[in-house]
Structure 1
Amino acid sequence: MKKITVMGLGYIGLPTAITLAGAGYEVCGFDVTERVVESLKGGKIHIVEPGLQEAFDQAVAGGHLHFSSELSPSDVFYIAVPTPFFEDASGAHKADLRFVESAGRMAGKVLRPDDLVILESTVPPRTTEMLARVLGEESGIPQGEIHVAHCPERVIPGNMMYELKNNDRIVGARTPEAAQMAKEIYEHVLDKGVVRVTDDITAEMCKLTENTFRDVNIAYANELSVICDKMGIDVFELIKLANCHPRVNILTPGVGVGGHCIAVDPWFIYEQFPEEAKVIHASRLRNENKPRFVAEKVLSSLRDPKKDLVAVLGLSYKPDVDDLRESPSIELCNILRDKGVNFIACEPFAPYGEVHGIQNVPFEEALSRADYVVVTLGHSLFQENRDKIAAKPFFDCVGMME
Structure 2
Amino acid sequence: MRGETKPQVCVVGLGYIGLPTAAIIARADCPVMGIDISQHVVDTINRGEIHIEEVDLDGLVRGVVQRGLLRASTQVAPADVFVIAVPTPFEKDGHHTPDTSYVMAAATEVAGVLKKGDCIILESTSPVGTTEAMRDLIAGLRPDLKMPGKTEETPDVSIAYCPERVLPGKILEELTHNDRSIGGITPRCARKALAFYKRFVRGTCVTTDARSAEMTKLVENAYRDVNIAFANELSMIADHMGLDVWEVIKLANRHPRVNILQPGPGVGGHCIAVDPWFIINGAPEQSPLIRTGRQVNDAKMHHVVAQAEALIEAHPGVPVACLGLAFKANIDDFRESPARFVASRLAHRFGERIAIVEPFAGQLPVEFSDTGATLVDLDHALENCGILIVLVDHDIFKAVPIEERSGAIVYDTRGIWPDQPAIPQTSGLRLAS
Tell me how far apart the structure 1 counterparts of residues 140 and 405 of structure 2 sit (CA, whole Å): 59
Q: Residues 86 and 363 (structure 1 numbering): CA distance in 2 closer, same or farther, change over 3 Å?
A: farther
Partner of 1:78: 83
Q: Determine if the alignment matches structure 1 residue 357 to structure 2 residue 357.
A: no
Tell me how far apart the structure 2 counterparts of residues 391 and 17 of structure 1 sit (CA, whole Å): 49
Q: Secondary structure at the match of 2:117?
A: coil
- Choose which of 328, 334, 342 in structure 2 pairs with 1:324: 334
In structure 1, list runs of 5 or more residues that go unmatched. Answer: none
Q: Report if aligned partners of 1:299, 1:305 keep a CA contact under 8 Å in 2.
A: no
Partner of 2:195: 184
Tell me how far apart the structure 1 counterparts of residues 315 and 196 of structure 2 sit (CA, whole Å): 58
Q: Report if aligned partners of 1:306, 1:340 keep a CA contact under 8 Å in 2.
A: no
Higher Cα Rg, which structure: 2
Q: Determine if the alignment matches structure 1 residue 392 to structure 2 residue 412.
A: no
Cα deviation per residue 1:337-365 (whole Å; 9 max; x = unaligned)? 45446422111111135554263222222
Tell me how far apart the structure 2 counterparts of residues 54 and 159 of structure 1 sit (CA, whole Å): 14
Tell me how far apart the structure 2 counterparts of residues 55 and 287 of structure 1 sit (CA, whole Å): 36
- Choose which of 91, 106, 111 in structure 1 pairs with 2:109: 106
Q: Residues 354 and 218 (structure 1 numbering): CA distance in 2 closer, same or farther, change over 3 Å?
A: closer
**C-alpha RMSD of matched pairs (Å):** 1.7
Partner of 1:200: 210
Cα distance, 1:307 vs structure 2: 3.0
Aligned residues: 399
- Choose which of 319, 329, 347 in structure 1 pairs with 2:358: 347
Partner of 2:237: 227
Comparing 327-336 with 262-271, greater Cα deviation is found at 327-336
- Choose which of 64, 69, 93 in structure 2 pairs with 1:59: 64
Q: Which amino acid aligns with 2:158?
A: H
Comparing 100-109 with 379-388, greater Cα deviation is found at 379-388
Cα distance, 1:259 vs structure 2: 0.3
Q: Report if aligned partners of 2:42, 2:73 keep a CA contact under 8 Å in 1.
A: yes
Q: Residues 214 and 354 (structure 1 numbering): CA distance in 2 closer, same or farther, change over 3 Å?
A: closer
Q: Secondary structure at the match of 2:218?
A: helix
Q: Residues 345 and 182 (structure 1 numbering): CA distance in 2 closer, same or farther, change over 3 Å?
A: same
Q: Secondary structure at the match of 1:86?
A: coil
Comparing 297-306 with 203-212, greater Cα deviation is found at 297-306
Q: Report if aligned partners of 2:33, 2:77 keep a CA contact under 8 Å in 1.
A: no
Q: Secondary structure at the match of 1:373?
A: strand
Q: Report if aligned partners of 1:292, 1:335 keep a CA contact under 8 Å in 2.
A: no
Cα deviation per residue 1:178-216 (whole Å; 9 max; x = unaligned)? 21111011112122x101000000000000000000000
Cα deviation per residue 1:369-394 (whole Å; 9 max; x = unaligned)? 32311101111111122432454211
Q: Determine if the alignment matches structure 1 residue 15 to structure 2 residue 27.
A: no
Cα distance, 1:332 vs structure 2: 0.8
**1:2-401 correspondence runs (5 A):** 2-88=7-93, 91-140=94-143, 141-143=145-147, 144=150, 145=155, 146-191=157-202, 193-302=203-312, 304=314, 307-337=317-347, 339-340=349-350, 342-353=353-364, 355-357=366-368, 359-387=374-402, 388-401=404-417
Tell me how far apart the structure 2 counterparts of residues 214 and 190 of structure 1 sit (CA, whole Å): 24
Q: Report if aligned partners of 2:347, 2:368 keep a CA contact under 8 Å in 1.
A: no
Tell me how far apart the structure 1 counterparts of residues 19 and 215 of structure 2 sit (CA, whole Å): 24
Q: Report if aligned partners of 1:353, 1:361 keep a CA contact under 8 Å in 2.
A: no
Q: Secondary structure at the match of 2:33?
A: strand
Q: Which amino acid aligns with 1:398?
A: R
Cα distance, 1:223 vs structure 2: 0.3
Cα deviation per residue 1:285-308 (whole Å; 9 max; x = unaligned)? 110111111111112223556633
Q: Which amino acid aligns with 1:164?
A: L
Tell me how far apart the structure 1 counterparts of residues 85 and 406 of structure 2 sit (CA, whole Å): 42
Partner of 2:431: none
Tell me how far apart the structure 1 counterparts of residues 332 and 302 of structure 2 sit (CA, whole Å): 23
Q: Which amino acid aligns with 1:137?
A: G
Tell me how far apart the structure 1 counterparts of residues 50 and 287 of structure 2 sit (CA, whole Å): 40
Comparing 333-342 with 15-24, greater Cα deviation is found at 333-342
Partner of 2:430: none
Q: Which amino acid aligns with 1:244?
A: R
Comparing 214-223 with 343-352, greater Cα deviation is found at 343-352
Q: Report if aligned partners of 1:27, 1:66 keep a CA contact under 8 Å in 2.
A: yes
Comparing 133-142 with 10-19, greater Cα deviation is found at 133-142
Cα distance, 1:73 vs structure 2: 0.5
Tell me how far apart the structure 2 counterparts of residues 287 and 170 of structure 1 sit (CA, whole Å): 28
Cα distance, 1:106 vs structure 2: 0.6
TM-score with structure 2 setting the length = 0.88
